[in-house]
């Protein structure tokens, strides 16, 4: 069924040494005072792995989170016996209760559930019994036939595919309107339909609000708060409203991004597979020729929006058949690359080709379905203003009142130090910050050096404190006595060499991830920017700080003149450290990105596992 929504939106390898850490932080491209650098690491030597910190812990490392093989909760058979309570002696209160005819018919019909095998999620099975025990009446049946509520519910469940869901997960056998069954058989059929439809409606509503999988069970890189859903309350609402469609559709995220992805899914489903095949290994520089160029230009022409068409439509119409990469075509390619977050060098390579033909129709559909599922883990209202970091796009945006006020390039964690996927609230901006070195970096990257040169942190501008917060010289610590549990904190003092640059923006979280400046500016010129230890480095940190503090870049510059300080963010500004390989821009056009951490396939495995559990249900 077509989606009745508007398509236009108004929003928009880990280093094993200290030197490896230094290279990752500074890249050798910035000059510092010699005493501020990590000295060259010692020659590798074998260290006997220990079984305890007291034996040296030479082979101990702090590992990053792992990905789990997802196991969905098994379905349970709904136990209907509790709906048949034993007769109780009459009381005065009972005498005052006069059941309706419908209620009596429901109580009589429940006998038809005695041998009925209906399987559901444990919480849904519990909610069914709790609701119907307290409310012994039909929701979906009137006069021994499916009522208008049931008809609306079945239609909505049947349209699940338009949300990237699987209609079979919510299918219910609807009794025929005409039947030769006896009244007893019909009553039995209808009460079973009642329970099956309630179970599948609850599954649909819960999936729409929370998603089909629990992301936190997939990996420690995912961190989402629970989104409680009152299952009994949902049935109570549905029992007292005729607006079944409105209620069920309201369970889905109510934001423009979700709607744009639905529009994209519908368009992809209706589209033909791309018949133009371009060599994925094409490498073409200005002035060179290739028969693959006209194919690529044709695909670019098909995807022109109004702005691109106005700027380059005439050039493409005139030179679209050219095999020679003419100078006039270079601005076209650069514009295409820059819109996709690339550096726009005008060289046509595999990544440029992939923008248009690198993903098949099936691949794009898969990415959109994954994105729809991931959006269900997040708040329905994303908030305004907000900061949105999309890791696969390597960008961070400040969005206010439907307008993208700032968009900047970012560097995210390496594959071995991945940036988590979560959301929080921005709390403060630190100017000329200290860098508290994470325990994982101390253990994995600094400790090997410290065992042979315990004083180098003193020379390199770091402070060491014990568990009581007392400063102690690095040279006074017997680093060889510790493994993964080091009872000391290490922080780098503010300076030009500080790994966080001139400011950081904090949103407290258990992953110790925040946005910050960096002295290593050259990384922002790269297209693939998964290069950090996990935090988010900003190309325009002053612009982002000004945005979240509600001030100007000039004001930020003035604050930076006065050394180390902290300023709280007084407004509520949610920040999304997100991971979407398909995401709409502010005009609603969906863009696609490489799955740098291979997370989409892991989510697909989790969805397949959920599907496998649900398949045998009836």
CATH code of 350's domain: 1.10.101.10
Domain membership flag for residue 30: no
Domain membership flag for residue 269: no
pLDDT of residue 93: 47
What's the CA angle centered on 93, arms 90 and 96, to 5 degrees? Answer: 100
pLDDT at 61 over 90: no
pLDDT of residue 78: 97
Q: Give yes or no: residues 218 and 182 share one domain.
A: yes
* Cα R_g (the chain), whole angstroms: 30
Which band of pLDDT confidence, cut at 50, 70 and 90, is reported for residue 281?
confident
Domain membership flag for residue 393: yes
Domain membership flag for residue 225: yes
pLDDT of residue 510: 92
Per-residue model confidence as pLDDT tens digits over 170-179: 999 999 877 7
Distance, first Cα to last Cα, the chain: 25
User: Could you tell me the two tokens for 462?
Assistant: 């770091």
Q: Give yes or no: residues 214 and 331 share one domain.
A: no
pLDDT of residue 54: 30
pLDDT of residue 283: 92
pLDDT of residue 16: 35
- Partners of 471 in beta bridges: 465
Q: Give yes or no: residues 107 and 139 share one domain.
A: yes
Q: How many domains does the chain have?
A: 3
pLDDT at 516 over 90: yes
Q: Are residues 385 and 573 in contact, defined by beta-carbon separation less than 8 angstroms? A: yes
Per-residue model confidence as pLDDT tens digits over 2-45: 454 444 433 433 333 333 333 333 333 323 333 232 233 333 33
In this prediction, residues 334-357 reach a mean pLDDT of 82
pLDDT of residue 309: 83
Angle between helices 553-560 and 541-549 (to 10 degrees): 110
Q: Give yes or no: residues 228 and 302 share one domain.
A: no
pLDDT at 431 over 50: yes
Identify the domain boundary among 261, 291, 315: 261
Q: Give yes or no: residues 341 and 486 share one domain.
A: no
Q: Give yes or no: residues 175 and 118 share one domain.
A: yes
Angle between helices 330-339 and 350-357 (to 10 degrees): 70
Q: Give yes or no: residues 329 and 392 share one domain.
A: no
3-state DSSP call for residue 264? helix
pLDDT of residue 406: 98
Domain membership flag for residue 121: yes
Which band of pLDDT confidence, cut at 50, 70 and 90, is reported for residue 266?
very high
In this prediction, residues 389-399 reach a mean pLDDT of 97
In this prediction, residues 338-362 reach a mean pLDDT of 80
For the chain, percent of residues with pLDDT exceeding 70: 85
Q: Give yes or no: residues 398 and 349 share one domain.
A: no
Domain membership flag for residue 397: yes
pLDDT at 312 over 50: yes
pLDDT of residue 614: 95
User: Could you tell me the two tokens for 579?
Assistant: 């991971």
pLDDT of residue 274: 67
In this prediction, residues 588-613 reach a mean pLDDT of 95
Whether the ω angle into residue 175 lies within 30 degrees of 0, i.e. cis, is no
Instruction: Say which residues have a Cβ less than 8 Å from residue 540's Cβ, sequence separation at least 6.
Output: 406, 408, 409
Tell me how far apart the alpha carbons of residues 518 and 174 are, in angstroms, rounded to a whole number.
61
Of 75-89, 201-215, 333-347, least confident by mean pLDDT is 75-89
Per-residue model confidence as pLDDT tens digits over 529-577: 999 989 999 999 999 999 999 999 999 999 999 999 999 999 999 999 9
Q: Give yes or no: residues 352 and 410 share one domain.
A: no
User: Could you tell me the two tokens for 112?
Assistant: 């038809």
Strands (DSSP E) contained in 527-570 are 530-532, 536-538, 565-568
**pTM score above 0.75:** yes
Q: Are residues 527 and 343 in contact, defined by beta-carbon separation less than 8 angstroms? A: yes
In this prediction, residues 600-610 reach a mean pLDDT of 97
Which band of pLDDT confidence, cut at 50, 70 and 90, is reported for residue 51?
very low
Alpha helix positions (H), 454-575? 456-459, 541-549, 553-560
574 is in which domain, residue-wise? 378-605
Identify the domain boundary among 203, 235, 261: 261
Dihedral of alpha carbons 420, 492, 441, 464, sign: negative
Greatest mean pLDDT among 197-206, 303-312, 466-475 lies in: 197-206
Domain membership flag for residue 340: yes
Q: Give yes or no: residues 349 and 485 share one domain.
A: no
Q: What share of the chain is helix, strand, coil (3-state, %, to 5)?
A: 40, 15, 45
CATH number, domain of 527, equals: 2.40.440.10
In this prediction, residues 123-131 reach a mean pLDDT of 97
Tell me how far apart the alpha carbons of residues 358 and 279 are, in angstroms, rounded to a whole number.
10
Q: Give yes or no: residues 255 and 309 share one domain.
A: no
pLDDT of residue 486: 87
Q: Give yes or no: residues 459 and 352 share one domain.
A: no
pLDDT of residue 461: 83
pLDDT at 339 over 90: no
Higher pLDDT, 170 or 305: 170
Which band of pLDDT confidence, cut at 50, 70 and 90, is reported for residue 513?
very high
For the chain, percent of residues with pLDDT exceeding 90: 62
Domain membership flag for residue 12: no
């Amino acid at each position: 069924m077509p989606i009745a929504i508007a398509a236009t939106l108004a929003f928009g390898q880990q280093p094993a040494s200290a030197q490896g850490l230094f290279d990752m932080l500074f890249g050798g491209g910035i000059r510092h005072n010699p005493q501020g650098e990590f000295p060259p690491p010692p020659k590798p030597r074998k260290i006997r792995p220990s079984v305890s910190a007291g034996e040296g812990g030479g082979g101990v490392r702090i590992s990053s989170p792992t990905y789990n093989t997802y196991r969905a909760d098994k379905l349970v058979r709904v136990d209907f016996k509790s709906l048949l309570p034993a007769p109780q002696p009459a009381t005065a209160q009972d005498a005052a209760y006069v059941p309706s005819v419908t209620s009596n018919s429901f109580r009589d019909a429940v006998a038809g559930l005695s041998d009925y095998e209906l399987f559901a999620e444990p919480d849904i099975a519990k909610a069914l019994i709790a609701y119907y025990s307290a409310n012994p009446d039909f929701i979906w049946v009137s006069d021994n036939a499916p009522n208008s509520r049931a008809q609306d519910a079945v239609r909505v469940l049947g349209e699940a595919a338009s949300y990237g869901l699987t209609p079979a997960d919510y299918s219910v056998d609807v009794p025929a309107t005409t039947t030769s069954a006896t009244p007893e058989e019909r009553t039995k059929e209808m009460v079973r339909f009642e329970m099956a439809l309630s179970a599948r409606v609850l599954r649909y509503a819960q999936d729409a609000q929370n998603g089909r999988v629990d992301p936190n069970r997939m990996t420690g890189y995912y961190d989402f708060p629970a989104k409680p859903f009152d299952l009994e309350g949902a049935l109570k609402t549905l029992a007292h409203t005729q607006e079944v469609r409105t209620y069920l559709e309201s369970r889905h995220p109510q934001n423009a991004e979700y709607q744009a992805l639905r529009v994209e899914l519908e368009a992809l489903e209706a589209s033909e597979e791309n018949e133009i095949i371009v060599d994925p290994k094409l490498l073409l520089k200005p002035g060179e020729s290739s028969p693959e160029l006209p194919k690529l230009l044709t695909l670019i022409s098909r995807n022109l929006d109004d702005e691109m068409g106005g700027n380059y439509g005439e050039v493409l119409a005139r030179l679209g058949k050219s095999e020679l990469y003419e100078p006039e075509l270079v601005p076209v390619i650069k514009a295409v690359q820059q819109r996709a977050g690339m550096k726009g060098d005008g060289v046509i390579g595999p990544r440029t080709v992939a923008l248009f033909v690198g993903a098949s129709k099936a691949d794009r559909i898969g990415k959109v379905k994954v994105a729809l599922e991931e959006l269900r883990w997040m708040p329905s209202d994303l908030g305004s203003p907000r900061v949105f970091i999309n890791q696969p796009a390597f960008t961070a945006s400040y969005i206010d009142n439907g307008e993208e006020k700032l968009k900047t390039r970012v560097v995210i964690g390496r594959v071995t130090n991945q940036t988590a996927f979560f959301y929080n609230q921005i709390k403060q901006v630190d100017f000329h910050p200290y860098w508290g070195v994470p325990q994982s970096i101390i253990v994995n990257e600094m400790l090997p050096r410290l065992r042979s040169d315990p004083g180098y942190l003193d020379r390199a501008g770091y402070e060491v404190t014990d568990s009581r917060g007392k400063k102690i010289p690095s040279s006074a610590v017997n680093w060889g006595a510790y493994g993964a549990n080091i009872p000391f904190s290490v922080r780098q003092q503010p300076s030009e060499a500080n790994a966080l640059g001139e400011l950081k923006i904090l949103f407290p979280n258990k992953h110790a991830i925040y946005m910050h400046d960096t002295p290593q500016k050259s990384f922002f010129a790269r297209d693939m920017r998964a290069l950090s230890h996990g935090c988010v480095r900003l190309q325009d940190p002053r612009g982002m700080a000004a945005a979240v503090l509600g001030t100007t870049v000039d004001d930020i510059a003035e604050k930076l003149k006065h050394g180390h300080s902290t300023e709280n963010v007084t407004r509520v500004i949610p920040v999304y450290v997100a991971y979407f390989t398909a995401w709409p821009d502010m005009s609603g056009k969906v863009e696609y990105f490489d799955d740098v951490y291979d997370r989409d396939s892991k989510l697909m495995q989790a969805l397949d596992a959920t599907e496998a559990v649900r398949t045998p249900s009836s």
